[in-house]
Structure 1
Amino acid sequence: MMKSEQPKQTKPAQIFGQSFTPFTSKSAPTDRLLSATCVGRRARIPDRARQRRTGIEQLNASCGGRRTKTAKRNDESRERAAQRWSPRFRAGVERATRAESWLIDRPRVLKQSGGNAREISMSLLGKAAVAMWWSVRPEQRSEFGDWHSHEHFPERMGIPGFRRGSRWTSTTDAEGFFVLYELAEYEVLTSKGYLDRLNAPTPWSTKMMPHHLGMIRSQCRLIESFGGGVATSLATIRLSPQAGCEADLQAHLANTLGTLAQKPGLTGAHLLRTDTPRTSAPTTEQQIRGKDGAADWIVLLSGYDADVVEAAIASPLSPGSLGALGAQNNPTIGSYRLAFTMTPQDVAAG
């Protein structure tokens, strides 16, 4: 009596660091495998087509090159569709691909947790930033907004390494502004592209620079970052550590900010530290404005609920609480709402 033939066992495949049994011709569609494997941050990237191609390539390699006829037909259909894309649609796909590369290549740092180093993603778009505070008189605000939105921001976003700019208006000072530029690397601060712009302001910039009153301009390294995105409300805290308390203060702030970023109403909490590059002379823009001040340490707390942001400033990040953590007792606190934001993709789309 002949024994019934047992189905052949398929060796599990390793895809994205996890084991999965490859599909046969009678299995579910390939997309289902990708849905199971494309987990975490990469699964949320808009360019699904790129994920699909990557997953198929890994699946094909794990199966020794064997593919189902259905999967091959799907590939051919996608290729034919891609050839029919209009130039405008192709341009949109290219912009989305650039956005994806920013998410994939976001800076990573080692954090200590329980004695073990773990790798996390920074939520701001880079490892450095320029944080600035200044005032503009009411009679200049209209032209300032026009210049800053339509000339100055696009100019800055055209500099290699500039990833996002945001402008915020004070909710407590009718003349106050806060501006944040997020940079890919600290070295962008001394790059030729940036210094060339600082030393060759446009005629409109030359006209507007003297109206930046009480300028505080800090060129910073990103120290701690939790959460992400751009929200509608923002609090800034300029502070300095007590002598000998730098390490303890940073550790306490990291713990506090990490907890706050997960609360309902809040979206992000970040710690920056000013590290002014050594340059040979003040730039032309600095000479026009006059001497700029600089902060020391900077805390940024953002959220979609202004009341929750204010509550955090009144309690866990109040001057008294910060003093108990090791900060000096004279922090400067500001509250802001979002006025405008721009990325290099916005410039390219225009």
Structure 2
Amino acid sequence: MKSQAVLAIWVDIDPSDDALFEYWHSREHMQERVGCPGWLRGSRFKGIETPGRYLLLYDAETAATFESDIYYTRLRSPTPMSRAIFPKFRDTWRTVCNVEQRWGDGIGAAALTLRMAAANTAPFDKLAAPETARVDLLAGQSGIGQAHTTEKDLRANTDRQIERALVAFFWSVPAAIAARDRHAPEGEVFALRHTVSKADLEHAQ
């Protein structure tokens, strides 16, 4: 089944914690999340202009995926490593989103993100171009995946939510920067660090 929903997270991590954060996210957290029913892929991107900022994206079958009992059981029983990492999260934006519009598929080497109010017009059509792998227009679902959990308590500040976002994936960082400068100057550019799909986990078993 194709992804109809995305869990989008922007988070700042102190550079001194980068190695531990990336190890945790790649070797434990993505496997734990993508192993849940309905989760299809987890990806981590690192900011270009703001190296301490990360973009974490999880593709799922539907928004209801983020309300499953299995998922909430994991949120309420974090691993020892998760208990060490979540207090390090700063300026966290975390929102379950429906895919309002999509062009292309997969992911690319870089991502351009633009957070916006629901009424704002996104440059979706301008970004659907030969140098782009995929463009998502996301609509935040404020009531989904927001129940009280232990993981939320571990984060120092309350998660903020987006109303709408544009996420465009490119073949290269320079292509993402060029598109940002032309069409979304207030956007942020991130470079891909790691991605894990459901098929990857099944193959490893």
Asked if these proteins are the same fold (TM beyond 0.5), I'd say: yes
- Give the counterpart of 1:155 among 11, 32, 44: 32
* 2:55 equivalent among 175, 178, 185: 178
1:236, 1:299 within 8 Å by CA — same for their partners in 2?
A: yes
User: Residue in 1 aligned with 2:170?
Assistant: 303
Deviations 1:136-189 (A, max 9, x none): 112211111111111111101110010001000000112110000001011111
Residue 281 of structure 1: how far off its partner (Å): 4.4
Is it true that 1:267 corresponds to 2:133 in the alignment? yes
Counterpart check, 1:135 vs 2:12: yes
For residue 10 of structure 1, what is the aligned residue in structure 2?
Answer: none
Say if 1:175 and 1:281 are closer, same or farther in 2 by CA, change over 3 A: same
What CA distance in whole angstroms lies between the structure 1 residues aligned with 2:10 and 2:147? 22
CA distance in 2, matches of 1:151, 1:200: 14
Q: How does 1:63-74 map to 2 (within 5 A)?
A: none
The question of whether the paired residues in 1 share the 8 Å contact of 2:94 and 2:162 is answered with: yes
1:293 matched to 2:147? no
Aligned length: 203
Provide closer, same or farther for how the CA distance between residues 147 and 222 of structure 1 changes in structure 2, counting only shifts above 3 A.
same
Task: Give the counterpart letter for 1:194 in structure 2.
Answer: Y
Distance 1:204 1:305, change over 3 A: closer
User: Which one has a bigger Cα radius of gyration?
Assistant: 1
Q: Matches of residues 194-233 of structure 1 in structure 2 within 5 Å?
A: 194-233=71-110
Residues 96, 145 of structure 2: 8 Å contact kept: no
Contact residue 66 and residue 145 of structure 2 kept, 8 A: no
TM superposition score normalised by structure 2: 0.92
Structure with bigger strand share is 2
- Could you say what secondary structure the match of 1:315 adopts? helix
Identity of aligned residues (%): 26
- Structure with greater proportional helix content: 1
Q: 2:142 aligns with which of 276, 287, 290?
A: 276
Residue of structure 2 equivalent to 1:21: none
Distance 1:141 1:190, change over 3 A: same
Per the TM alignment, residue 268 of structure 1 is displaced from its structure 2 partner at its CA by 1.2
Question: Aligned with 1:160: secondary structure?
Answer: coil
Aligned counterparts of 1:239 and 1:151: Cα–Cα separation in 2: 31
Q: TM-score, normalised by structure 1?
A: 0.55
AA partner of residue 273 (structure 1): A
| Cα pair distance change 1:136/1:173, threshold 3 Å | same
CA contact (8 A) 1:161 1:184 kept: yes
Cα distance change on mapping 1:259 and 1:281 into 2, 3 Å:
closer
What's the CA shift for 1:305? 3.1
**What is the CA-CA distance between 1:280 and the residue it aligns to?**
8.3
Residue in structure 1 matched with residue 198 of structure 2 by the alignment: 344
The CA RMSD measured in Å over matched residues stands at 1.8
Q: Larger RCO: Structure 1 or Structure 2 (Cα < 8 Å, ≥ 6 residues apart)?
A: 2
Secondary structure of the corresponding residue to residue 77 of structure 2: coil
Unaligned runs of 5+ residues in structure 2 are none
CA contact (8 A) 2:63 2:144 kept: no
Q: Which whole-Å CA distance do the structure 1 matches of 2:93 and 2:68 have between them?
A: 21
Q: 1:278, CA displacement in angstroms?
A: 5.5
Distance, in Å, in 2 between the alignment partners of 1:130 and 1:279 is 9
How far does residue 257 in structure 1 lie from its aligned partner after superposition?
Answer: 2.3
Q: Could you give the per-residue CA deviations for residues 49-77 of structure 1, whole angstroms, max 9, x where no partner exists?
A: xxxxxxxxxxxxxxxxxxxxxxxxxxxxx
Change (3 A) 1:279 1:217: closer
